[in-house]
């Protein structure tokens, strides 16, 4: 898979080994066969001390793997709030898009974990709740499709437009009905009344 010793140490959280390797010339920007670098691995696994150190040594928030995912997308997938909060505070762009589906970190949360805590952090940092992927889906639609009820509620409370349709003419309500998500249908109906 093309993992270097630095990548393994960053992934496992071995800070002293990371420091030693970098001090002896390990390249913090080197990527494995899928395009992931040591920073992405540390972000996904939640090793904040290593994330900070790698950044000090030249690792970039804008680095992309072969699918176009950035360290923030990997941090969002990992769900580690302290890492995500630090990244945002350090100026990391919150609406980066991958190169395949054009998903932002918020869309990935909507698809994968449904974490309200991670989504809240991203939204407070300015993440676009109405961003659209290459098929016209929004984070709300993705959350509906994945039955993340609490996330649907959070998105609606933060300005997600439930009237938007994807490029196939379906909106969040149609998706909820198609999958029999009665709990989410009720949320959307309450939103439509207000």
pLDDT tens column, 16-35: 999 999 999 999 999 999 99
121 and 180 housed in the same domain: yes
Q: What is the mean pLDDT of the chain?
A: 95
pLDDT value at residue 189: 87
Q: What pLDDT, in 10s, does the model give residues 95-118?
A: 999 999 999 999 999 999 999 999
Whether 194 and 102 map to the same domain: the answer is yes
Indicate if 7 and 84 belong to the same structural domain: yes
How many structural domains are present in the chain? Answer: 2
What is the rounded average pLDDT of the residues 36-65? 97
What's the Cα-to-Cα distance from 171 to each of 37, 57, 89, 177, rounded to whole Å?
37, 45, 34, 10
Residues 159 and 185 in one domain: yes
Residue 54 has pLDDT above 80, yes or no: yes
Domain that holds residue 180: 97-194
Residue 112's pLDDT is: 93
Got the DSSP string for the chain? ----HHHHHHHHT-HHHHHHHHHTT--TT-B-TTS-BHHHHHHHHT-HHHHHHHHHTT--TT---TT---HHHHHHHHT-HHHHHHHHHTT--TT---SSS---HHHHHHHTT--HHHHHHHHHTT--TT---TTS--HHHHHHHTT-HHHHHHHHHTT--TT-B-TTS-BHHHHHHHTT-HHHHHHHHHHHH-
Residue-level pLDDT at 190: 85
CATH number, domain with residue 104: 1.25.40.20
Residues 138 and 180 in one domain: yes
**Burial category of 23 from C-beta neighbours within 10 Å (exposed 0-12, middle 13-18, buried 19 and up):** exposed
Q: Do 51 and 39 sit in the same domain of this protein?
A: yes
Same domain flag for 182 and 101? yes
Closest to 50 in 3D by CA, of 28, 72, 78: 28
112 lies in the same domain as 172: yes
Same domain for 182 and 103: yes
Same domain, 111 and 56: no
On whether both 101 and 89 belong to a single domain, the answer is no
Give the Cα separation of 191 and 137 in Å (integer). 19
Total Cβ atoms within 10 A of residue 81: 16
């Amino acid at each position: 898979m093309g993992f270097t010793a630095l990548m393994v140490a960053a992934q496992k959280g071995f800070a002293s080994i990371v420091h030693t390797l970098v001090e002896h010339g390990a390249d913090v920007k080197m990527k494995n066969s899928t395009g992931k670098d040591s920073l992405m691995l540390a972000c996904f696994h939640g090793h904040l001390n290593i994330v900070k150190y790698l950044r000090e040594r030249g690792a970039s928030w804008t680095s992309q793997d072969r699918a176009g995912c950035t360290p923030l997308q990997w941090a969002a997938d990992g769900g580690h709030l302290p890492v995500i909060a630090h990244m945002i505070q350090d100026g990391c762009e919150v609406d980066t898009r991958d190169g395949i589906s054009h998903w932002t970190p918020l869309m990935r949360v909507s698809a994968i974990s449904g974490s309200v805590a991670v989504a809240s952090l991203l939204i407070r940092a300015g993440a676009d709740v109405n961003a659209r992927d290459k098929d016209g889906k929004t984070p709300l639609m993705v959350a509906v499709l994945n039955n993340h009820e609490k996330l649907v509620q959070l998105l609606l409370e933060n300005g997600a437009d439930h009237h938007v349709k994807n490029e196939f003419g379906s909106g969040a309500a149609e998706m909820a009905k198609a999958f029999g998500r009665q709990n989410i249908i009720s949320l959307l109906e309450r939103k439509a009344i207000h």
